[in-house]
A and B are shown apart, each in its own frame.
Chain A
Amino acid sequence: MEYPFDAVVVGAGGAGLWAALELAREGVNTAVLTKLYPTRSHTGTAQGGVCAALGNLEEDHWEWHMFDTVKGGDYLTDQDAAEVLAREAIETVIELEHMGLPFNRTAEGKIDQRRFGGHTRNYGEAAVRRSCFAADRTGHMILQTLYQQCIKHGVKFFDEFQVVDLLFEGDPAKGGRAAGVVAHRLADGQLHTFRAKAVLIATGGFGRMFRITSNAHSLTGDGVALVYRHGLPIEDMEFFQFHPTGIVGIGILLSEAARGEGGTLLNDLGERFMERYAPKLMELAPRDMVSRAMYQEIRAGRGIGGKDYVYLDVRHLGRKVIEEKIPDITEFARLYQGVEPLKEPVPVQPTAHYAMGGIPTTVWAEVTRDEKNTVVPGLFAAGECACVSVHGANRLGTNSLVDLLVFGRRSGRQMARYCGQVDRPRPIADATEPIRAQLEAIRDRAASGDRADSVAAIRHDLQDVMMDNVGVYRDAGLLSVALTKVRELKQRHGRVSIADCSHVFNTELLEANELGYLLDLAEITVVGALARQESRGAHSREDFPERDDKKWLKHTLAYRGKDGPTLKYKPVSITRFEPKPRTY
């Protein structure tokens, strides 16, 4: 089946939904494709809030937010983008309130705000109340609110349509333009072509390459890998954030909001060890620093009972704060760890959480294809899958939501303008054939019976090697081993066998395909990490412990080559803040 549209949005999280809303308001004929239902998207799991310098409780300015974002990103953040982020955060949050988002309120009835890691007043003086929140389900409310507005504006959704290929008119690496997508309908296994002038990739992250992660099972980097496979570069993949407070062993997130409300981190001796690492901000230092501090404590034998975790303690906050401001995470601790946070400290360890890297874009969410930021006409990306780059080497808490709101909105507006300027691409003959052949090859191996090459077995081995070798701390030895293993796994994936022959809701087939995406992205991550011989933000090389601005103040661009990724580099935008040492 072929559908002609003007715009296609791939992914229905916060970025995709806001883009769709803008397109609908402009009257652009738009389809939103999601492999889930929109309300199942991972934006919904974001907890703590969305930062905007509203100044509802104390003085605040967008310039301070911009500075914190740049410093938090260890100066790899593009400052032109960080300025857009911090300025427009304010109007997007106000617009969300107008759309009906149920923010918590101050005594005066304004949007309530709380402290969050790395967000400070007056360029680093002390923590500031900047995070606007709806209890600890801010992401849930953002997702619901945007979906509600899309319904109100008649947006057309194709639920459980998984995009498996991108279509171009000409070679996108050499000036070709976007022409649509191919999607696999889960309900019957049929492939559908969506022809469009403008395509937005808003497929989110890919934390499922790690064993311990806060990410949903569905976060497999589909859009990022598809862009890469079409010869376009992927940026800064070596920067992957490990959030300090995951539930031990499984990685479910306990929001930074717990620390924003006053929760503390304790080692086996009962010490608030963060005072040794970030005396000013303590537990509200940026995530990369807190995760490293936890590892240092654990290595020094001060993990709880000598084990690989520390305690998050919220007992002193009292029942009222815990139940009103962080109710969900309190329930997570009870259900998934069997711990009562009102009465005992909660064991936590770092969990793979967020990709700073992704598809390179301009500040208008246009995908770029080289070191000079040449735009690929008609192709857009926004949200976690994109790299504008507003997060640089390490994202600050809540800035993921700010990113997907600000740049989701911008992408929709820019797509609407673009759609008004160009004709619809010509139909592409046999558009579905390349991906059909790939999927059929996997299906033909169904019931071949060799479980060693099952999806689950290969995925398990990938997650182990990425967690153990490409985690919070890295070095050349660990990374070289990881590269060899990931390449072996890619070989095994070439003969992956599945047991499911059905065409109806064949999730095993799709998981096999998704695993291919994860493997591509893992390889780029490792190659980028091996090449970058410095420590910056979330990329911490024990063999190169210092930041090296002379050699490495630049973005990595990874292109698909015959023997794996090849790397190029592009400069960082520096407008207001010269790089300085990063202390908190």
Chain B
Amino acid sequence: MNVDLRILRFDPEKDTEPHWQTYQIEVRPMDKVLDLLIRVKGEQDGSLSFRRSCGHGICGSDAMLINNRNRLACKTRVDQIGKKISVAPLPGLPVVRDLVVDMSGFFTKYRSVKPYLINDEPEPERERLQTQKDRARFDDTTKCILCAACTTACPSFWARPEYVGPAAIVQAHRFIFDSRDEGANERLEILSDENGVWRCRTIFNCVDACPRGINITGAILDVSKAIVARRG
């Protein structure tokens, strides 16, 4: 089967505006969109630029806009999306080149929520104990691979780029609800400001985009409730 693969191209050294380029390519059974991009680069046009690494949905390098939805190219099977495929960079972030976006703002927001265990008590000789129930409380949000598919799918983020965004809230959730962590107050303070959780309009685009199946809107609601509870 042949498909038309449209790719939004942009090279700042020669282009003033992004433009679509179409490649005809033969698709094999079980091909992912990443396989097509690699074949285009190898066989038709070496100048196509995109990020990729692990190729199976763990490293988070190849999030992009595929047929108008944010997905990982390595987890998107061609047979599940039809014969016409369009690929563009993640929306809402500056484009560096072709499918490569500038991730620095995304990671700055990630860092802003103090994404590390805060616990100043002396460490025990062995592991800290944690019940299976307490461990399960934050299991879902430990799956996040920081691919940015959720944040860049969020209309609230498009409208207000200062919004900390779903990914950073997911990362905060992972610690706020970890029974070993004592930094919840600091993080809730950060997330209750004007660019925090209240920007979420429960549109669920993030949940739809997440390649790890995380219930992101649920996590944002958990954090919102914790902020309200803290205020008493």
Is A187 among interface residues, defined by CB-CB distance under 8 A? yes
Contact of A100 among B12, B49, B181 (CB under 8 A): B181
Instruction: Specify which chain B residues have a CB less than 8 angstroms from the CB of A98 in the assembled complex.
Output: 123, 127-128
Instruction: Specify which chain B residues have a CB less than 8 angstroms from the CB of A39 in the assembled complex.
Output: 59-60, 145-146
Contact of B145 among A104, A140, A149, A506 (CB under 8 A): A140
Is A92 among interface residues, defined by CB-CB distance under 8 A? no
Given the interface contacts A37-B103, A40-B61, A102-B135, does A502 sit within 8 Å of B53 by beta carbon?
no
Counting chain B residues whose Cβ lies within 8 A of the other chain, the interface size class is 35 or more
Q: Digit string of B122-161 for contact with A (CB within 8 Å is 1, else 0)? A: 0101111111100100110011011000000000000000
Given the interface contacts A148-B117, A218-B53, does A94 sit within 8 Å of B127 by beta carbon?
yes
Is B46 among interface residues, defined by CB-CB distance under 8 A? yes
Give min CB distance, A161 to chain B, whole Å: 13
Interface stretch, picked from A76-84, A272-280, A334-342, A405-413, is: A334-342
Asked whether B46 lies within 8 Å of A508 as measured between CB atoms, the reply is yes
Is A151 among interface residues, defined by CB-CB distance under 8 A? yes
Asked whether A504 lies within 8 Å of B13 as measured between CB atoms, the reply is yes
Asked whether B142 lies within 8 Å of A134 as measured between CB atoms, the reply is yes
Contact of A456 among B43, B58, B75 (CB under 8 A): B43
Instruction: Specify which chain A residues have a CB less than 8 angstroms from the CB of B49 in the assembled complex.
Output: 500, 502, 504-508
State the A residues within 8 Å of B (CB).
36-37, 39-42, 44-45, 94, 97-100, 102-105, 107-111, 134-135, 137, 140-141, 144, 148-149, 151-152, 159, 187, 216-218, 252, 328, 332, 335-338, 451, 454-457, 460, 498-508
Instruction: Specify which chain B residues have a CB less than 8 angstroms from the CB of A149 in the assembled complex.
Output: 116
Instruction: Specify which chain B residues have a CB less than 8 angstroms from the CB of A501 in the assembled complex.
Output: 47
Asked whether A499 lies within 8 Å of B45 as measured between CB atoms, the reply is yes
Instruction: Specify which chain B residues have a CB less than 8 angstroms from the CB of A337 in the assembled complex.
Output: 30
Instruction: Specify which chain A residues have a CB less than 8 angstroms from the CB of B47 in the assembled complex.
Output: 499-502, 508
For chain B residues 39-86, which have a beta carbon within 8 Å of chain A?
Answer: 41-43, 45-47, 49-61, 75, 77
24 example contacts (A-B, Cβ-Cβ < 8 A) are as follows: A37-B61, A37-B103, A42-B53, A100-B116, A100-B117, A102-B178, A105-B135, A137-B58, A140-B145, A148-B117, A151-B115, A152-B114, A217-B54, A252-B56, A332-B56, A332-B57, A336-B30, A454-B42, A455-B46, A460-B42, A504-B96, A505-B98, A507-B41, A507-B49
Instruction: Specify which chain A residues have a CB less than 8 angstroms from the CB of B111 in the assembled complex.
Output: 151
Contact of B46 among A111, A134, A454 (CB under 8 A): A454
Instruction: Specify which chain A residues have a CB less than 8 angstroms from the CB of B115 in the assembled complex.
Output: 148, 151
A456 vs B146: C-alpha distance in the bound complex, in angstroms?
A: 29
Asked whether B123 lies within 8 Å of A504 as measured between CB atoms, the reply is no
Q: Which residue of B lies closest to A39 (CB)?
A: B146
Interface of B is mostly: loop
Asked whether A109 lies within 8 Å of B54 as measured between CB atoms, the reply is no
A102 vs B125: C-alpha distance in the bound complex, in angstroms?
A: 18
Is B97 among interface residues, defined by CB-CB distance under 8 A? yes
Instruction: Specify which chain A residues have a CB less than 8 angstroms from the CB of B127 in the assembled complex.
Output: 94, 97-98, 103, 110-111
A263 vs B230: C-alpha distance in the bound complex, in angstroms?
A: 47
Instruction: Specify which chain B residues have a CB less than 8 angstroms from the CB of A336 in the assembled complex.
Output: 30, 56
Is B6 among interface residues, defined by CB-CB distance under 8 A? no
Asked whether B180 lies within 8 Å of A335 as measured between CB atoms, the reply is no
Asked whether B30 lies within 8 Å of A109 as measured between CB atoms, the reply is no
Given the interface contacts A45-B58, A216-B53, does A109 sit within 8 Å of B142 by beta carbon?
no
Asked whether A140 lies within 8 Å of B45 as measured between CB atoms, the reply is no
Give the 7 A-B CB pairs with smallest separation, nearest first: A456-B42, A100-B117, A499-B46, A109-B129, A148-B116, A500-B47, A152-B116
Asked whether B97 lies within 8 Å of A102 as measured between CB atoms, the reply is no
Contact of B11 among A94, A107, A137, A502 (CB under 8 A): A502
Contact of A40 among B12, B59, B97 (CB under 8 A): B59
Asked whether A100 lies within 8 Å of B180 as measured between CB atoms, the reply is yes
Instruction: Specify which chain A residues have a CB less than 8 angstroms from the CB of B46 in the assembled complex.
Output: 454-456, 498-500, 508
A460 vs B45: C-alpha distance in the bound complex, in angstroms?
A: 16
Q: Which residue of A lies closest to B146 (CB)?
A: A39
Asked whether B97 lies within 8 Å of A505 as measured between CB atoms, the reply is yes
Most chain B C-beta atoms within 10 Å of own C-beta, residue among A44, A97, A151, A332: A97
Is B107 among interface residues, defined by CB-CB distance under 8 A? yes
Contact of B55 among A100, A102, A159, A216 (CB under 8 A): A216
Instruction: Specify which chain A residues have a CB less than 8 angstroms from the CB of B107 in the assembled complex.
Output: 37, 159
Contact of A45 among B56, B116, B135 (CB under 8 A): B56
Most chain A C-beta atoms within 10 Å of own C-beta, residue among B30, B58, B125: B58
A151 vs B146: C-alpha distance in the bound complex, in angstroms?
A: 15
Given the interface contacts A100-B180, A454-B42, A455-B42, does A40 sit within 8 Å of B126 by beta carbon?
no
Q: Digit string of B177-203 for contact with A (CB within 8 Å is 1, else 0)? A: 010110000000000000000000000
Q: Which residue of B lies closest to A106 (CB)?
A: B132
Contact of A108 among B43, B54, B129, B180 (CB under 8 A): B129
Instruction: Specify which chain B residues have a CB less than 8 angstroms from the CB of A40 in the assembled complex.
Output: 53-54, 59-61
Give min CB distance, B54 to chain A, whole Å: 4
Q: Digit string of B90-114 for contact with A (CB within 8 Å is 1, else 0)? A: 0000001110100100010001001
Instruction: Specify which chain A residues have a CB less than 8 angstroms from the CB of B116 in the assembled complex.
Output: 100, 148-149, 151-152
Instruction: Specify which chain B residues have a CB less than 8 angstroms from the CB of A187 in the assembled complex.
Output: 96
A109 vs B125: C-alpha distance in the bound complex, in angstroms?
A: 15
Asked whether B100 lies within 8 Å of A36 as measured between CB atoms, the reply is no
Most chain A C-beta atoms within 10 Å of own C-beta, residue among B103, B114, B116, B125: B116
